[in-house]
Amino acid sequence: MKIENIIQKGVEAALAELYDFTPVANQIQIQNTRKDLDGDITIVVFPFLRVSKKSPEQTGEEIGIFIQQNVDVVNSFNVIKGFLNLEITKNYWIDSLLDAYTNENFGISSEGENPNTVMVEYSSPNTNKPLHLGHIRNNLLGFSISEILKANGNKVVKTNIVNDRGIHICKSMYAWQKWGNGKTPENSGIKGDHLVGEFYVEFDKHYKAEIAELVEKGLSKEDAENQAPSILAARELLLKWEAKDDETLNLWKTMNTWVYDGFEITYKKLGVDFDKIYYESETYLVGKKEVLRGLKKGIFYQKDDNSVWADLTNEKLDQKILLRSDGTSVYMTQDIGTAKMRFEDYSINEMIYVVGNEQNYHFQVLAVLLDKLGYKWGKDLYHFSYGMVELPSGKMKSREGKVVDADDLVEDMIKVARNVANELGKLESLSDSEAAETHRMIALGALKYFILKVDPKKNMLFNPEESIDFNGNTGPFIQYTYARIQSVLRKAAEKNISIHKNISVETISAKEKDLLKRVSLYPSIVNEAANNHSPAVIANYCFELVKEYNQFYHDHYIIGETDEEIRNLRLILSSTVASVIKKGMNLLGIEMPERM
């Protein structure tokens, strides 16, 4: 049982016996004792003064005496003002270590017979451009949240909604028709999503030139934007697509296939995957039917131009368009259809959308619309809103070709990892192929950790050079410590030093105890990360664990320890720390090199 749970029960028993009092939820405050004080676990006494009718010191003393006499794992206590500090027995920490050492599923909860089913949507790319840095943060957050929820006993369905239709797709299609000259990924050697993205940029270049020309002829900017030949042609393509024109559909399928092939390569590089992929070209029709049903029932209304709207002013929102005057759907319509299909396909208990915070309002509206349409689960949808990610050079604009391409960023990260490792002489003992694979792990570890260690709600600045640092709060620093521990364990094996599970030491040092306590926190950390939907909780725990281990490593002999029992404890401790680091980093999608 977790030490917090043991102490909780002990305090409850003390309050019942001493003051005939049953505390309400969260009234018992338990925390780790400050490092500058004696003790392991601290209980805040102030909430109990009303029932004890005594000073904080007297109340703490009485509760401390009761707990020491009645809770086996408590060795001693001290009271400082309103804080009761408990020292936990050495045997409890040793038993906790052995549990973590022998239990392959330490920190992981099994699904059980009736697991909670959670669907997590992430990635959500458009098929008119390749994945970029913003998509990287989205994919890494979505994948990690999914893995963390799984580790907490949930059944998780990882899903992707591909924005494969709409005016933005038609822009790339028109540009290819107009200026493509039969260019394909095969005959150009350009990755499919990159090629289609180039035509999206090409469209924008010509479109802007047309607008400028029309404005020069006397049109307003707004009229010019609506009357430019390129945009009129793209809109015509969209109408043809919705009318199922064969030629338009064939081009659309061909160009989307190029993009899907490109996406798959990028997903594999990033180490993310999906259980189910939905396509807006399939879900928008379901959404249109739902909107028309809502119109018929009087939930929505129609304007004179035949566009369909929802009036959400009573919900302190605004008027929201659901179908344009020409009958084409908008993102909201598609999201209504996608939600309906998902809840029909899976028995979902919870639906999580991993989407940037610029879409906060969109998901407020979606929840209300689904509720109005009679879907009870509508208001339970959870928008995992995260901040934007930028490079030191500033914001990205995909239509102008000013994006940080995901593929290019990964390759650049690998180059940086190779250069830094070579400068430091970190991988000199590895073969060329081993070194190349380790460079890849370091690069992806640096990228993923740097992004995931930040509170998801915050905007962040991604600095590639800063992320690949073998010192400080970085992925490579944690990977290097893990590899260092593996080296210690290999040396022990080479010297035929066996590890036995019977730990019998008279005392444990302060550094050993700190490390034992840190390891024991891991299951609670995994639970906290799930409750807060925050991979940053895992990332920063791993960093603190690694810092603690490095202090221990600096101050203690391990292989060189002459006392066999102490050496055995330290080897088990090292092995367990490595195991917990690997488990935690794997929840972030980060691989751990065995040698560095």
Is 535 within 8 Å of 529 (Cβ atoms)? yes
Task: Please tell me the distance from the alpha carbon of residue 211 to that of residue 209, in angstroms, as a whole number.
Answer: 5
* pLDDT computed for residue 403 by the predictor: 64
Residue 395, pLDDT > 60, answer no
Residue 416, pLDDT > 50, answer yes
Q: Once rounded to an integer, what is the mean pLDDT over residues 144-155? A: 97
Question: With pLDDT > 70 as the criterion, what percentage of the chain qualifies?
Answer: 98
* pLDDT computed for residue 398 by the predictor: 39
By C-alpha distance, which of 521, 509, 510 is closest to 577? Answer: 521
- Reported as a single tens digit per residue, the pLDDT across 306-335 is 999 999 999 999 999 999 998 888 889 999
- Reported as a single tens digit per residue, the pLDDT across 102-128 is 999 999 998 877 889 999 999 999 999
Q: Model pTM?
A: 0.91
By C-alpha distance, which of 417, 122, 87, 90 is closest to 278? Answer: 122
E-strand stretches of 289-415 = 301-302, 308-311, 319-323, 350-356, 382-386, 389-390
Band (pLDDT 50/70/90 cuts) for residue 31 is very high
3-state helix, strand, coil in the chain (%, to 5): 60, 15, 30
CA dihedral 230→233→238→241, nearest 10 degrees, is: -140
* pLDDT computed for residue 97 by the predictor: 95
By C-alpha distance, which of 93, 88, 54 is closest to 74? Answer: 88
Cβ neighbourhood burial of 245 (10 Å; 0-12, 13-18, 19+): middle
- Reported as a single tens digit per residue, the pLDDT across 482-503 is 999 999 999 999 999 999 988 9
- Reported as a single tens digit per residue, the pLDDT across 225-281 is 999 999 999 999 998 998 999 999 999 999 999 999 999 999 999 999 999 999 999
Q: Which amino acid is at 533?
A: H
Q: What is the DSSP letter of 109?
A: B
Task: Please tell me the distance from the alpha carbon of residue 345 to that of residue 115, in angstroms, as a whole number.
Answer: 17
Q: Which range has the worst mean pLDDT, 92-106, 267-281, 426-440, 541-555? A: 426-440
Q: Once rounded to an integer, what is the mean pLDDT over residues 468-489? A: 93
Is 263 within 8 Å of 193 (Cβ atoms)? yes
Which helix (H) or strand (E) covers residue 86, if one does? strand 83-88
Domains and CATH numbers, the chain: 3-88 (3.30.1360.70), 122-400 (3.40.50.620), 406-587 (1.10.730.10)
Cβ within 8 Å of residue 209, ≥6 positions away: none
Q: What is the DSSP letter of 594?
A: S
Task: Please tell me the distance from the alpha carbon of residue 530 to that of residue 514, in angstroms, as a whole number.
Answer: 25
Cβ within 8 Å of residue 176, ≥6 positions away: 183, 196, 199, 251, 255
Q: Once rounded to an integer, what is the mean pLDDT over residues 151-160? A: 97
Q: What is the DSSP letter of 303?
A: -
- Reported as a single tens digit per residue, the pLDDT across 293-307 is 999 999 999 999 999
Task: Please tell me the distance from the alpha carbon of residue 109 to that of residue 527, in angstroms, as a whole number.
Answer: 9
Is 517 within 8 Å of 32 (Cβ atoms)? yes
Rounded alpha-carbon distances, angstroms, from residue 130 to 37, 157, 521, 569: 54, 24, 40, 51
Band (pLDDT 50/70/90 cuts) for residue 2 is confident
Q: What is the DSSP letter of 394?
A: B
The mean of the pLDDT values for the chain is 93
CA dihedral 25→26→28→29, nearest 10 degrees, is: 170
Phi, psi of 561 (to 5 degrees): -70, 130
Phi/psi-derived region of residue 507, left when phi > 0, alpha when psi is between -120 and 50, beta in every other case? beta
Task: Please tell me the distance from the alpha carbon of residue 380 to that of residue 288, in angstroms, as a whole number.
Answer: 22
Please calculate the CA angle 43-48-49 and round it to the nearest 5 degrees.
120
Which helix (H) or strand (E) covers residue 118, if one does? strand 117-121
Pairing of strands 319-323, 308-311: antiparallel
Q: What is the DSSP letter of 3?
A: H
Residue 4, pLDDT > 80, answer yes
